[in-house]
Every structure is written in C-alpha cells, then in structure tokens.
Amino acid sequence: MTRHRLATAAVCVALFAVPLAVHDEYYLHLCIVAGIFAIAVLGLDLIVGYVGQLSLAHAAFFAMGAYTSALLFVNFKWSMWLGLPAAAILTGVIAFVLGSVILRTRGHRFIIITVVFAELMKLVATNWVDVTRGFMGLPGLEIPKLYVPGLGAIDIASKAHFYYVVLVVALLAFLLCRLIVRSSIGRKFVLIRENEALAESLGISALRYSMIAFAFGAVLAGAAGSLYAHYVGFVSPDLFNFSYVTIMLIMVILGGKGTLVGPALGAVIFTFLPELLREASHWRMIIFATILIVATLFMPRGIIFPLVEHLLPQRWRTRHASTP
Amino acid sequence: MPALLEGRGVTVRFGGLTALKNVDLAVGAGEVLSVIGPNGAGKTTLFNVITGRVRPTEGSVMLRGQAIQRMPPFRIARLGVVRTFQKTEVFGPLSLLDGVAAGALARDDPDPLARAREALETVGLLDKADLSAQQLSYGDQRLLELAQALAARPAVLLLDEPASGMNHQESAHIVRLIGELRTRGLAIILVEHNMQVVMKISDRVIVINYGEKIAEGEPAQVRADPRVIEAYLGVDHSAHAHA
C-alpha cells in the first residue's frame, strides 16, 4: 500500500515537473494534447470499459463541447472559465436525453445508433452555416487570463502555463472517475457489463446506470473539447471526423479498458507514438496499423498492463496481476 | 392467510400463439409451490411474467396486493421477487463475493459484502468466495445462483430447475436448502423436472399443459390425477386424434 502511494506521488510530481524539464514547444504541445485526450478517454472508459457499451458518439460529444465553447466565446464573449462548465453541462444533458432512448438497446444496434448520431451532429455543424459558419469554422478563440486573489490576472496562454490548466482538469477528471468506479455505482457498472439480464433480475436498473456512465462520460468529453477549442483557437466540422473516435477507442482499448489508468496512459502513448514514428513516414501508418491489429486480436487486456507485468520483477507481478 | 404473491387470469399471447391461458396461482410465506408440466407447457413464460420480463396480454400479478405486472424486472426484484434461471447465469470473471453482492448493492444495503458472505455461507460456498464464478463446477454454479438470489433478500423466490443436471447428492443438498429457506419464511415457486425433488418438498403443485392449468393440489393428489398422467404419458392419443 505504501509503495503504491509512493509511486502515485512520484507520478504526480513528475507530471507537474514536465514544463520544467521540457522546453521544446513542440513536445509541450504534444503533452497538452495528450492531457486533453486523457480527459476525454477517461469518460469513454466509463461507458466502454465499465458499463461495456461501445459508444462511437464520444468524439461527437468532444466536438460539441468545442463548438459550445466556441459559440459562447464568439457570440457572447464568454471566456473559457464559463465556456468550459457550460460545454460540459450541455453535452452531459444531451447525452442524458440521447442515452435515455438509445441505451435501451445493446450491442450492434447501440453502436450503429451512436455512429448515426455522430454523423448527424457533423451535418448540423457543417450545414447550419448561419450559426457555425459551416466549413469555414469558428476562429479566434482565446485562452483567458487566470485571476488569482492577491496576484491579479496571470497570463496562462503560454504552453508551459496552459499545460498546468490541462493537468489540473485531467487529475480532477481522474479522481472523479476513480471515486465513481470505486463506489457502489461503479460496482453496478461492472455487474451490468458482465451480465445485464442477471443484474436486472437482481434489482439493478441497467438503463439508469448506463445513463450515468454515458452522461458523465460526455461531460468529460465536452470539457476536453472546450479546452481543445480554446487551446487551438479554432473549431471546424473536421472535429467530427471518424478518426477522432477511432483514436479515442484505441487509447481506451489498447491502454486497457476498465482500468482508468490504462486509457489515461493510452492517451499519452497514442498521442506521442504517431509523432515518434514520423521519422519513418512511409511506414508510419503501416506500423501503427499492424500494432493495432495484433494487439486487438491477441491482447484483450490492452498492451500496457501485460507489458508492465512482463517487465516487472516477479515479486511485483502477482499483485499487479490481481488488479483487473 | 392472504397470499403473498398472486397471479390472476394470466394470459400471454405471442402473435397467434397462446403461451399461457388464464392461469391463476397463489403462494404464501413459508410455502413451496411447484409448477410442473411437459416441455414447452409455459412454465418459464409464467416465471417471465411474474418477474417482469414478459408482460401478460391479460390478467394481473399482485405482490402483497400491489399490481406488479407492468413494472420493469429490476423494480420487481427490488420489491422482493427474485428468480434464478434455467440456463445458469453468473457474473463469469467476477469473484463470487462481488457477484453475490449484486442483490445487496441493488437494495442500497450499507454492507453488501457482508450480505454476500451470509448468502454464500447459506449455500455452502463461503470457502470459495474469492474464486471467480467461471472457475466453479456446474453444480457449484447452480448453488452460486441461489446465493446471488438470496443476497437480494427475496420474499418470493422463483427457482427455474435448480436441480437440473445435478447428481443425486447435489440435488439432495438443494432439497435441504429449499427446506431451510421455507422455514425462514420465504415463499418459493419451483419449476422442476425431477419428480422426486418435487414430491419431496412441495406443499402444493400446479400442473400446466399447453399453457393451461390442468390440475392443482397436494403432491400425492396431483400425481394420481388422470389428466396429469395423460399430459405426461400421452395416453389416449388415438382418442384425441379421432375427437
């Protein structure tokens, strides 16, 4: 237990020390993007990893969060401090309403409906030109100043500063998710995942708890989308592209679904890996795709946990093997 | 004594097929009611109606005087009507303890794991509490199902062929367990093909054939009923053919 706490503390210190060690703007940029993805995929892990429903609408919630923030900024000059909670709440409410209908289905039908929903939202973003400016997107978003009592307004627009904003939101997201999955709510998620009919026959409402996971997951996706919009300064319908949901699912599944830590690590690995493979640009997508196919076929627990167990000394292994 | 659970005129039609036709049943606390009949007679459909998985076309199901036939399954379970399944249903990779805790979690019990241990102890699986459900033998999985249901603190327990596929010793164990649960005041509805088991533990038996109740009474009475013998052995086939 103490060793576990020590490791957690070391990881936190290391995360906070990143801008002190990394001065390269490009690598800092990747760290920020990884952090934003981590927030989104923690939410995706709740629905895919814990409740066991494969949602392909998650990137759409991310994009809707980005658009919400952008529209509030462009039209009403709402800063990120207001735009982020607004985006999170709005996507959560939309997911709640959508979920109350579509979470009555499971398996293929649910997957297909989430794809259709994501495509519909993309059409709205593309064709509602009066509001969204269509393909031209919404430019000019800014990172707000941070007001600290006694210190006044602090500029957080630099990458090193914005990294800390993302890190704090990501850690909060992680703690909230961990709180949920370790509560009786999270245990019900897992029971529904393992045998929905049995869970229902014992008194657990699959619909209610799937909705909690789906809506809270969307809240995190919306928050991440808002951070992304203000960080990049521009939103467009490209955010609804299928490649976003693909990469998020890769992060969750190869990271190790249903573990929270795995998908968060997956977000880091699969933000950096494509960039590191850039050297071999011809081979990049082929290498990436091969890893994906092999890992999906042969490593149902993802690639991180089996790898860690394999590399750790024997005395550590058994303990880690027992954690799901 | 008024019945704890009562079905009145339960009728289920799937399209043109009548799976149940005007079936009445009632069970009180501390009573074992067995439902028997040939395969396809509608026994499992009756269970599905009582537990909310199938809505009856006509008729009602009353629990302590409250109509439950339109409620979703999880709500009926929380009111105290809990079932096991004909085909074994467990939470495969989870530990017995975590899986059995489900019913207690569903009722927001302050200590679900303690309830799970009690239920596992009742069926005699406490020493295997940390194993996963899929590591158990078939017979133990059937006992696990019983523990799962018990942790939900049922007032009415529906058992769908609990002794099927069990050897003599295992089914004797199940019979003892059911007897013990009855003395605790549970109302038990049992679907079972093993006639030895049925005759040994039932207070009353109802017989269903082609979706209709054809007999009801004490085990010995029902066993002697000519309509029951006919339904089971198919005597007088020629008479029917000419009728």
Report chain A residues whose CB lies below 8 A from the CB of B74.
199-206
Q: Bridge-partner residues for B82, per DSSP?
A: B157
User: Which residue, B109, B131, B153, sits at the end of a domain?
Assistant: B153
| Residues B61-87: b if buried by 16+ CB within 10 A, e if exposed | bbbeeeebbebebbebbbbbbbbbbee
Looking only at Cα atoms, what is the longest distance across chain A? Answer: 63
User: Which residue, B113, B128, B153, sits at the end of a domain?
Assistant: B153
Residue of A nearest to B80 (CA): A203
Report chain B residues whose CB lies below 8 A from the CB of A202.
74, 77, 82, 102-103, 106, 148-149, 151-152
CA B19 to chain centre: 18
pLDDT at residue A4, rounded to an integer: 83
CB contact under 8 A, B106 and A206: no
Q: What pLDDT digit, counting tens, does each position of A82-122 carry? A: 999 999 999 999 999 999 999 988 888 999 999 999 999 99
Please check the confidence at residue B233 and state whether its pLDDT lies above 80.
no
Helix (H) or strand (E) holding A171: helix A159-182
**Per the domain annotation, does B101 fall within a domain?**
yes
**Per the domain annotation, does B225 fall within a domain?**
yes
Same domain, B169 and B140: no
Higher pLDDT, B241 or A172: A172
Please report, for chain A, how many H helices and E strands are present, in that order. 15, 4
Question: Domain containing B45: what range?
Answer: 5-80+154-242
Same domain, B131 and B161: no
**Per the domain annotation, does B163 fall within a domain?**
yes
DSSP string, B25-88: EEE-TT-EEEEE-STTSSHHHHHHHHTTSS--SEEEEEETTEE-TTS-HHHHHHTTEEE--SS-
**Per the domain annotation, does B25 fall within a domain?**
yes
Higher pLDDT, B39 or B149: B149
Q: What is the CATH number of the domain that holds B51?
A: 3.40.50.300
Does B102 touch chain A if contact means CB atoms closer than 8 Å?
Answer: yes
Same domain, B98 and B216: no
**Per the domain annotation, does B85 fall within a domain?**
no
Tell me the residues of chain B between 198 and 217 that have a Cβ less than 8 Å away from chain A.
none
Same domain, B72 and B161: yes
> Which tokens belong to A174?
């992680």
**Per the domain annotation, does B141 fall within a domain?**
yes
Same domain, B158 and B72: yes
Same domain, B52 and B25: yes
Which one of B50, B63, B74 makes the best mutation probe of the A interface by having the most chain A beta carbons within 10 Å? B74
Does A198 touch chain B if contact means CB atoms closer than 8 Å?
Answer: yes
CB contact under 8 A, A204 and B90: no
Of the candidates A187, A197, A202, the beta carbon closest to that of B148 is on: A202
Q: What pLDDT digit, counting tens, does each position of A275-311 carry? A: 877 776 777 777 777 777 787 777 778 878 887 777 7
Torsion of CA B138, B142, B145, B147, to 10 degrees: -110
Same domain, B69 and B181: yes
**Per the domain annotation, does B40 fall within a domain?**
yes
Q: Using CB atoms within 10 Å of the CB of residue A290, give its burial: 0 to 12 exposed, 13 to 18 middle, 19+ buried.
A: exposed
Please check the confidence at residue B188 and state whether its pLDDT lies above 80.
yes
CB contact under 8 A, A195 and B148: no
Question: Side-chain half-sphere of A168: how many Cα atoms within 13 Å?
Answer: 4
Q: What percent of chain B has pLDDT over 90?
A: 70
User: Which residue, B127, B153, B179, sits at the end of a domain?
Assistant: B153
Does B90 touch chain A if contact means CB atoms closer than 8 Å?
Answer: yes
Q: Is A235 helix (H, G, I), strand (E, B) or coil?
A: strand
Averaged in consecutive runs of 10 residues, what is the pLDDT profile of chain A (324 residues)? 82 88 89 96 96 93 95 88 94 95 88 93 88 84 80 81 94 96 95 95 95 96 96 90 87 90 93 79 74 76 79 56 42
**Per the domain annotation, does B175 fall within a domain?**
yes
| Residues B120-157: b if buried by 16+ CB within 10 A, e if exposed | bebbebbebbeebbeebeebbbbbbbbbbbbbbbbbbb
Same domain, B34 and B110: no
Same domain, B69 and B166: yes
Residue of A nearest to B112 (CA): A184
Which pTM value belongs to this model? Answer: 0.89
Name the average pLDDT for chain A. Answer: 88
CB atoms < 10 A from the CB of A19, how many?
Answer: 18
Same domain, B159 and B62: yes
* Residue B86, min C-alpha distance to chain A (Å): 12
| ipTM here | 0.90
Same domain, B59 and B165: yes
Q: What pLDDT digit, counting tens, does each position of B213-231 carry? A: 998 999 888 888 888 888 7
Closest CA to B85 of B140, B146, B135: B146
Q: What pLDDT digit, counting tens, does each position of B69-89 carry? A: 999 999 999 999 999 998 899
Same domain, B121 and B176: no
Q: How many domains does chain B have?
A: 2
Report chain B residues whose CB lies below 8 A from the CB of A198.
85, 89-91, 102, 148
